A and B are shown apart, each in its own frame.
Chain A
Amino acid sequence: MGRQIWLLQEVKKVQITKVKNLFKILFIFLFTFNFTSLNSAEKVEYLKTDWSFKGLFGKFDRGALQRGYQVYTEVCASCHSMKYLSYRNLAEKGGPEFTEAEAKVIAASFEVTDGPNADGEMFQRPGKLSDKFVMPYENVEAAKAANGGAYPPDMSVLIKARGGGADYIYSLLQGYEEPPIGITLDDGVYYNKYMYGNMIKMSAPLSDGAVEYSDGTQASVQQMSKDVTTFLMWAAEPHLEARHQMGFKAIVYLIILTVLVYFSMKKIWSRVESEV
């Protein structure tokens, strides 16, 4: 009888180990074979920097977001739209957190098409907080026509739309270089080390000092790349901070409840002779 119970206990230990092994395999599988990286054909290592928004407690650096917004507005916005952002987002929690007054001034600095008025005509008026970011071109075709046939993609979710994410955008902005020997480029095509396929129709958008930061930070290409990428990350995920904060609370709560339920389960099952 004792031997039978010992046998059953051994079987149970093997089962538990099997389960643990299975989970180990599953986690290794999922995190090693990161399916996002499977999508990028390039084997290039992206430039690394520490992003304030990565990790379980990731948050946005307000200064970086405000500087990034400045880079976007002064450098990128002439070709790249940001159609899912509204001016009021600039003042909302979790973002650059301009004051409402500052955001109103920003909005008013842009001319927005409105109408039709009582005469049936469209008209221009200064932007309001509730307006979406003004687009540089009327439509996709106009954008293509003005840029040698290549459409400058909308940047609202650009970081999520590229397998390499923030690291990819950050690297690409700094990745312009002379093409290797044997590769000739067509007119209007540039060589970029990190771009998928290496050919890109956008010339290097950043150069040292291209923007004069209002907070006095030195505007090197690397600094601007980091700031604008941070801004783009927020543009793609404006609720990132709330998501991380809620996640922490949710998982702590679940762990507490799991522990309580575990002990309740033990208590209930102790009424039965054999073990679970």
Chain B
Amino acid sequence: MSDHDYTPNSKVGKWFNDRLPLLTLANHLTDYPTPKNLNYWWTFGGILTFCLITQIVTGLTLAMHYIAHADMAFDSVEHIMRDVNYGWLIRYIHANGASMFFLAVYIHIFRSLFYGSYKAPREIIWIIGIVIYLLMMAAAFMGYVLPWGQMSFWGATVITNLFSAIPLVGEGIVTWLWGGYSVDNPTLTRFFTLHYLIPFLILGLVVLHIWALHVPGNNNPVGIDIKKPSKDTVPFHPYIVIKDGFALLMFMIVFAFFVFYTPNILGHADNYIEADPLVTPAHIVPEWYLLPFYAILRSVPDKLLGVVAMLSAILILAALPWLDTSKIRSAVFRPLYKQFYWILVADVLILGYMGAMPAEGLYLLIARVATAYYFLHFLVILPVLGLKEKTLPVPLSITEPVLGGSPNMAAARSKESSNN
């Protein structure tokens, strides 16, 4: 850890801090040198923290009224919506909060992809982030089962059935997951427990994520290493606090619009029908934030390989720091990579749209092409690009408006400054 020689002002503060250095921690977070050229794509970390706390608080208060039993779950949710004081508000915040959480996390991830935030020395931050993302998906999936509507039940059935694709032990695992011979009450009660648990696991990982970040410090739009503190940095408080606050308020306006005016638009009407094991809905669709993976899953005609493809699509991200061979971090100076980046964005959006469509005809064809391209991007394009691409010259620092110099000289100079 960096050196901290902070002394609290008060005697009580000093006494406490000597035993548990919370005040030193607070001081570190306050003074933490942050690059001053961060743009608004960097505000989503703070926004995500807000989302996590919102979900935990609304989730806790919902859990005071929700009943995790197949016979009473749907009723208890309606009880919350109708009778509990402000129950409708808390429920809509929680349901739409999940969507906002994923919107923010996708922007956050794509920021990292553009600016090379996953590259050395930030690989562990990135990998912790992937784990957080996986836990988010697990929590969201299980949370969606809890109201025990048609989509809750059938989504759970389809996704848990995927595990039967595992050779030899697959069927046993599915029965173990279900706690029975189909999705039923035992499945619901354990999903509730795990859904309650996971956000706190995420909270712990977020602490590690931020801790790991504070070692090298933030990346920045230009992608160069900077000295901290220096003319290139500002203390986190008040500069970044107020900027994150501003971005958060804009985010909350969008959030409020969904909650108060279109609270069900991102959901599925079928989930207002009570779960019926004898009636399968015409189209089983997950929530929008899981659609790209759903499309990948259905692209592959084989059950096991489809599951493998879907998982690989996420796990391949963990290998990204090593797949991307470029020495330059930020896409600002990688004109060719920039093009492929936007094609990837389009590809993921297309996959998402295909995930909502029936898996047949033209939709299936497009999904397959998009799936193939997704893997092509990470496994072929990125490694080749890093080696072959002609990058633009990178500046030496953020404050000095010196953009010139040959790429080699600039690289040599930036290596020099990173050694200090």
| CB 8 Å contact bits of A252-276 with B (1 = contact, 0 = none) | 0011011001101100110011101
**Is A162 close to B, CB under 8 A?**
yes
8 Å CB interface, B345-395 against A = 349, 353, 356-357
B265 pairs with A36, CB closer than 8 A: yes
**Is B210 close to A, CB under 8 A?**
no
In the complex, A161 Cα to B270 Cα: how many Å? 5
B356 pairs with A35, CB closer than 8 A: yes
**Is B28 close to A, CB under 8 A?**
no
Given A36-B265, A161-B270: A251 and B399 within 8 A (CB)? Answer: no
Given A39-B268, A251-B257, A258-B250: A264 and B399 within 8 A (CB)? Answer: no
Given A7-B403, A274-B399: A268 and B272 within 8 A (CB)? Answer: no
Kindly provide the distance from the CB of A115 to the nearest chain B CB, expressed in whole angstroms: 21
| Cross-interface CB contact of A243 among B89, B242, B283, cutoff 8 Å | B89
In the complex, which residue of chain B has the Cβ closest to the Cβ of A238?
A: B82
Binds A, one of B14-22, B32-40, B409-417: B32-40
**Is B401 close to A, CB under 8 A?**
yes
Kindly provide the distance from the CB of B271 to the nearest chain A CB, expressed in whole angstroms: 8
B256 pairs with A274, CB closer than 8 A: no
Kindly provide the distance from the CB of B227 to the nearest chain A CB, expressed in whole angstroms: 16
**Is A189 close to B, CB under 8 A?**
no
Residues of B within 8 A of A257 (CB): 249
Residues of B within 8 A of A30 (CB): 265
Given A156-B78, A162-B269, A244-B260: A15 and B239 within 8 A (CB)? Answer: no
Count of residues in B whose CB is under 8 Å from the partner chain: 49
> Which of A29, A30, A39: most chain B Cβ within 10 A?
A39
**Is B238 close to A, CB under 8 A?**
yes
In the complex, A84 Cα to B239 Cα: how many Å? 51
Residues of B within 8 A of A165 (CB): 269
B246 pairs with A262, CB closer than 8 A: yes
8 Å CB interface, B194-249 against A = 234, 238-239, 242-243, 245-246, 249
In the complex, which residue of chain B has the Cβ closest to the Cβ of A248?
A: B260
B270 pairs with A5, CB closer than 8 A: no
Given A4-B403, A84-B78, A157-B78: A258 and B249 within 8 A (CB)? Answer: yes
**Is A19 close to B, CB under 8 A?**
yes
B78 pairs with A243, CB closer than 8 A: no
B266 pairs with A35, CB closer than 8 A: yes
B401 pairs with A1, CB closer than 8 A: yes
Residues of A within 8 A of B349 (CB): 29
A265 pairs with B36, CB closer than 8 A: no
Given A35-B356, A274-B36: A258 and B265 within 8 A (CB)? Answer: no
A247 pairs with B234, CB closer than 8 A: no
8 Å CB interface, B119-145 against A = none
In the complex, A238 Cα to B269 Cα: how many Å? 18
In the complex, which residue of chain B has the Cβ closest to the Cβ of A41?
A: B282
**Is B311 close to A, CB under 8 A?**
no
A261 pairs with B245, CB closer than 8 A: yes
Tally the A-B contacts, defined by beta carbons under 8 Å. Answer: 110
| Cross-interface CB contact of A39 among B250, B269, B288, B398, cutoff 8 Å | B269
In the complex, which residue of chain A has the Cβ closest to the Cβ of B231?
A: A273
| Cross-interface CB contact of A254 among B81, B92, B238, B249, cutoff 8 Å | B249
| Cross-interface CB contact of A272 among B36, B283, B288, B353, cutoff 8 Å | B36
**Is B273 close to A, CB under 8 A?**
yes
Kindly provide the distance from the CB of A242 to the nearest chain B CB, expressed in whole angstroms: 8
Residues of A within 8 A of B92 (CB): 243
Residues of A within 8 A of B272 (CB): 157, 160-161, 236
Residues of A within 8 A of B234 (CB): 272
> Which of B75, B89, B246: most chain A Cβ within 10 A?
B246
**Is B193 close to A, CB under 8 A?**
no
A243 pairs with B260, CB closer than 8 A: yes
**Is B259 close to A, CB under 8 A?**
yes
**Is A49 close to B, CB under 8 A?**
no
A161 pairs with B269, CB closer than 8 A: yes
A33 pairs with B353, CB closer than 8 A: yes
In the complex, which residue of chain A has the Cβ closest to the Cβ of B272?
A: A161
**Is A47 close to B, CB under 8 A?**
no
Kindly provide the distance from the CB of B280 to the nearest chain A CB, expressed in whole angstroms: 14
| CB 8 Å contact bits of A148-176 with B (1 = contact, 0 = none) | 00000100110011110100000000000
**Is B177 close to A, CB under 8 A?**
no
Residues of B within 8 A of A15 (CB): 39
| Cross-interface CB contact of A35 among B243, B288, B401, cutoff 8 Å | B288
**Is A146 close to B, CB under 8 A?**
no
Kindly provide the distance from the CB of A199 to the nearest chain B CB, expressed in whole angstroms: 14
Residues of A within 8 A of B64 (CB): none
Residues of B within 8 A of A262 (CB): 246
Kindly provide the distance from the CB of B4 to the nearest chain A CB, expressed in whole angstroms: 24
| CB 8 Å contact bits of B260-294 with A (1 = contact, 0 = none) | 11011110111011000000001101001000000
Given A56-B261, A157-B78, A254-B253: A39 and B403 within 8 A (CB)? Answer: no
Interface residues of B (CB under 8 A from A): 36-37, 39-40, 75, 78, 81-82, 88-89, 92, 234, 238-239, 242-243, 245-246, 249-250, 252-253, 256-257, 259-261, 263-266, 268-270, 272-273, 282-283, 285, 288, 349, 353, 356-357, 398-399, 401-403
10 contacts between A and B (CB under 8 A): A4-B402, A29-B349, A36-B269, A38-B357, A39-B269, A56-B261, A239-B88, A244-B260, A254-B253, A272-B234
